[in-house]
Amino acid sequence: MSSRPSRRARAGQWLLLAAVAGCAWYLAHTAAANLRRHDMGFGFGFLLDHANFDIPFRLIAWHDGDTYLRALLLCVLNTLLVSALAIVAATAGGLLVGIMRLSRNWLVRHIALVFVELVRNTPQLVQIIFWYVAVLQTLPGPRQSFVLPLGALLNVRGLYLPVLRAGDFTGALAALAAVALAAALLLRRRLGARGLIAPALLAAACLASAAGLQRPALRGFNVAGGVQVPPELVALWAGLSLYAAAFIAEIVRAAILAVERGQREAAASLGLRPAQVLRRVVLPQALRVMVPPLTSQYLNIIKSSSLGAAVAYPELFQIFAGTVLNQSGREVETIVILMAIFLAISLLTSAGMNWYNRRVALVGH
């Protein structure tokens, strides 16, 4: 039986394509006519103009006289940073809460249920503002900072994390040890017990070189040293992560329930403990069910990063669709650039998840 489309189907496809192209041409023609009517041109040359504003949080160097193009690059990096952090945290949190939803313990199961119902039934923007205003803005000042593990400090001005000293040999050794240990743990089945001796020694060197860390410390009325994570980033990260974690938890729960009960019984009959059954038998099979809906959640996180404008986090929407648009007066070009960047990031993320989905999917014979 031939799988090629019929002539009628091909004709319908060409007609649909022509209709879409006609709509696109009409919109472009109307936009051009409106711009001419208001004596406005269309172009992206304004990206080379100098920006006269400051961006408080940045991953690359920034000066007041830099161009709008550099501001765009800086905002893209800030958007990618909070999106990546939120994806990692939401995945870990969703996996934990999803497993808790299936716990035999009544209290654990209902704590997870309350979290899911509370988070996913309240607006995401309200949650972000709640974390920023009701939580982070009520923290004590630098002199009364909360001391966290590894010497991190938390106060009203943000989260201060220790960082490796630039050019410090012991710091480089610690980073190398951490990478070697992580690689060895991933390959522990092939390396065996003896293969972990060298990484363990490197891990000991990592602990011995803890002096290579530059820890934040109180100096006068402020905190010096380490790296500062501003409260705007923390609030946006918490809001995005917890909101997505509630939905991912339900995806995890449904995927685990989709695994046949016989798989668990067969694994238990081999003497595996419940935790081993979950980790080695259930989760690998449930992962094949999780990946497609997880892709949608990851894309929602990336697009929802634009809510950072509500707490003044300098991401794409807050800086480029706000300050740059007001200064340059290029409304159409600015919105086109924002749409193109979010589309490119989402398509790349979707392509990566689709590639991973093909790798873990079951292959029929």
Mind listing the pLDDT tens digit for each residue in 177-217? 666 666 666 555 555 555 555 555 555 555 545 445 677 88
Task: In whole angstroms, give the CA distance from residue 315 to residue 138.
Answer: 24
Range 217-242 average pLDDT = 86
Task: In whole angstroms, give the CA distance from residue 290 to residue 91.
Answer: 11
Task: In whole angstroms, give the CA distance from residue 318 to residue 9.
Answer: 45
pLDDT at res. 3: 62
- If one compares 165 and 249, the residue with the highest pLDDT of the two is 249
Where in the chain are the domains?
A: 44-145+229-365
pLDDT over 60 (residue 124): yes
Q: Tokens standing for 185?
A: 């743990």
pLDDT over 60 (residue 219): yes
* Amino acid letter, residue 347: L
Helix (H), strand (E) at residue 151: none
pLDDT at res. 30: 83
> Which of 238, 344, 361, 353 has its CA nearest to residue 297?
353
Q: How confident is the model at residue 266 (pLDDT cuts 50, 70, 90)?
A: confident
Range 311-324 average pLDDT = 86
**Average pLDDT of the chain, as a whole number:** 82
> Dihedral, CA atoms, 104, 107, 109, 110, nearest 10 degrees?
150
Q: Tokens standing for 221?
A: 């009325």
pLDDT at res. 194: 54
pLDDT at res. 184: 62
pLDDT over 70 (residue 313): yes
Mind listing the pLDDT tens digit for each residue in 130-171? 999 998 888 888 888 888 887 788 888 888 888 765 444 555
* Amino acid letter, residue 15: L
User: Which CATH code fits 44-145+229-365?
Assistant: 1.10.3720.10
Is the Cα torsion angle 26, 27, 28, 33 positive or negative in sign? Answer: positive
Q: How confident is the model at residue 365 (pLDDT cuts 50, 70, 90)?
A: very low
**Least confident window among 7-11, 165-169, 257-261, 324-328:** 165-169
- If one compares 228 and 19, the residue with the highest pLDDT of the two is 19
- If one compares 347 and 286, the residue with the highest pLDDT of the two is 347
Mind listing the pLDDT tens digit for each residue in 70-109? 888 999 999 999 999 999 999 999 999 999 998 889 999 9
pLDDT at res. 364: 44
- 47, 68 Cβ separation under 8 angstroms: yes
SS3 (DSSP) at 214: strand
